Amino acid sequence: MKIEETKLNGVLIIQPDVFNDERGYFFESYSDRKFLENKLYLDFVQDNVSFSKYGTIRGLHYQVGENAQGKLCQVLSGKVLDVAVDIRFGSPAFGEHVAVELSAENHRQIWIPPGFAHGFSVLSDTAVFHYKCTAFYSKKDERSILYNDSDINIDWKINAVAVSEKDLMGVPFKDIEKDFLFSD
């Protein structure tokens, strides 16, 4: 397993070891042992899977308080652009984002800890997106930032956009609460 740091402190790109042969491939999508060896102490409590069509944008979501979630994301089928936005007030990277292509072919994963908003756009005809969470879903603690906020200025790399009514009601980035404070 290879781990690559991003410009957002704490957000990591993970490349699992993939074993290919004439039959196909095999890889461990998660191994507690390997994560611990890399000083990633995670406690997952819920797995989620979504199926989406080209042009779908899901996000930008996060949860606050005791239900703040870390997410380990990967694509099981298709291709997405996965995005994390730093929402930690006082962070040198506050308001910045990273975008990484995740696909069934590249097997990459992204670790997004609490303190970051998360979203993705579907770049292929369809995609099956899987993510492990460190806290249970909590409707009362769920927050959403408007996906097309000009202060964040994310290029979702798609032409047609399909967004849920709930995501269209996301707040502008400048109006988010100080739910996360940066600490070294």
Measured distance CA(158)–CA(168) in Å, rounded: 17
> Quick one: tokens of 142?
């769920």
Residue-level pLDDT, tens digit, the chain, 184 residues: 999 999 999 999 999 999 999 999 999 999 999 999 999 999 999 999 999 999 999 999 999 999 999 999 999 999 999 999 999 999 999 999 999 999 999 999 999 999 999 999 999 999 999 999 999 999 999 999 999 999 999 999 999 899 999 999 999 999 999 999 998 7
Q: Residue 105: which residues within 8 A CB-CB, separation 6 or more? A: 79
Active site residue 61: yes
Q: Is 139 helix (H, G, I), strand (E, B) or coil?
A: helix
Amino acid occupying residue 63: Q
Q: How far apart are CA 96 and CA 98, in angstroms?
A: 7
**Separation between Cα atoms, residue 34 and residue 59, nearest integer Å:** 29
- What per-residue confidence (pLDDT) applies to 181? 96
Q: Which of 97, 107, 118, 131 is catalytic?
A: 131
Residue 63 tokens, joined: 């949860």
Query: Contact at 8 Å (CB) between 16 and 110?
Result: no
Kind plus residue range of the DSSP H or E element containing 167: helix 165-168
- The pTM for the full model equals 0.95
User: For the chain, which residues make up each domain, given as ranges?
Assistant: 2-175
Residue with tokens 């380990």: 72
The verdict on whether 41 is a catalytic residue reads no
Structure tokens belonging to residue 181: 């404070």
Residue matched to tokens 């879903």: 137
Q: How many CB atoms lie within 10 A of CB 151?
A: 10
What does the block give as tokens for 69? 């979630």
The CATH number of domain 2-175, selected from 2.60.120.10, 3.50.50.60, 2.40.70.10, 2.40.110.10 = 2.60.120.10
